[in-house]
Homo-oligomer: A and B are copies of this chain.
Amino acid sequence: MKAGIVGATGYGGIELFRLLHNHPQVETITLYSSSQAGENFEEIYPQFQGGETHILQDLEPQKMKENLDVIFLATPAGVSSSLTPQLQEGRAKVIDLSGDLRLKDASVYKQWYKKEASDGETLEKAIYGLPEWNKEQIQTADIIANPGCYPTATLLGLGPLVKEGLVKSDSIIIDAKSGVSGAGKNPNPITHFAHAQENFQIYKVNQHQHIPEIEQQLFEWNDSIEPVTFSTHLVPMTRGIMATIYVQLKKEMTEEELREKYRNYYESQPFVRVRNKGSFPCTKDVYGTNYCDIGMTIDPRTKRVTVVSVIDNLMKGAATQAVQNMNLLFQYDERAGLAPLPVYP
């Protein structure tokens, strides 16, 4: 198959390149970059030298949609909303890693992203690519809205509880922490090494654009869910997200019953691992992989549930999840090309 990556020089694009390069079904990879077209990808990133070289291409939507089987959009917010429609009605499937096509309600997009949303038809066609919960729809989609990093960790952690209506509707608090790569490749004062190292920062309190994405899916699972509290922090590490999730149950339940719910939902999902009693994942447990590891407990003193969900923000939170979606779109083995074990230490 022939794959294209738009925005190939950003963190998401780089990881897609690495993954597709190792993917058994991908024959050619074409790299696109509006800002660096004409440059040699392997000169910008000499760590990828050793095989064939790739010249960054200018975008030509007409040609792309006819010649490629799949196009990954690893672009900043505001690009794919207008680019995706131009890539329709051809041969190519589109997998968008940005937030542009995730929110069904254009006004909500505008409110949180401060940009105009894509057209209604495109938003309608875009299927939310969370494979563990949406596999069937993904398999027949033309456009995939690949989930955000925080929503992936959060929704996989909350899914069983919310889907089954076990949670008090106004009790959900998500305290999320991310490695610095989540802020993207553009250098700025917040991601300067000397500022970010030996530092722990909170940002966008109550204002992160992933909030409506989380709520949209929770609401789809259970329309009694009320707005959630969602906080984001920057950890002095490159990769990894932990979402520590607090909820109150409508009815008492034992920890075993709770864990059983999770196991029921995820036992057939190759990339979600539910931990045993007393074991909680750390972010390194999923480093460089498509795994989401989930631990949980109920505090006998407060009756509150704590769910701990970890992913690699650039992998299950972006690039490997996009490849997982590609695998589903093209009826490959869901695990094809997704290296199964994490690097340690």
Give me the interface of A with B, judged by CB distance under 8 Å: 11, 14-15, 17-18, 21-22, 45-51, 170, 173, 175, 177, 179-181, 185, 187-189, 191-203, 205-206, 226-229, 231, 233, 235-240, 242, 244, 246, 270, 273, 275, 279-288, 291, 293, 295, 297, 299, 301-302, 304, 306, 308, 310, 339-345
Contact = CB atoms under 8 A, between A and B. Distances in A.
A196 B49 CA distance: 20
Contacts of A273: 46, 49-50
Contacts of A306: 205-206, 229, 231
A200 B233 CA distance: 12
A193 B197 contact: yes
Nearest to A235: B200
Given A200-B242, A238-B198, A288-B343, A177 B177 contact: yes
Nearest to A299: B206
A292 to B, nearest CB: 11
A17 B340 CA distance: 12
Given A50-B273, A177-B200, A194-B180, A344 B14 contact: yes
Given A201-B283, A229-B246, 7 more contacts: A22-B340, A45-B344, A170-B302, A175-B175, A200-B235, A202-B308, A228-B302
A303 B37 CA distance: 39
A198 B22 contact: no
Contacts of A308: 202, 205
A227 to B, nearest CB: 4
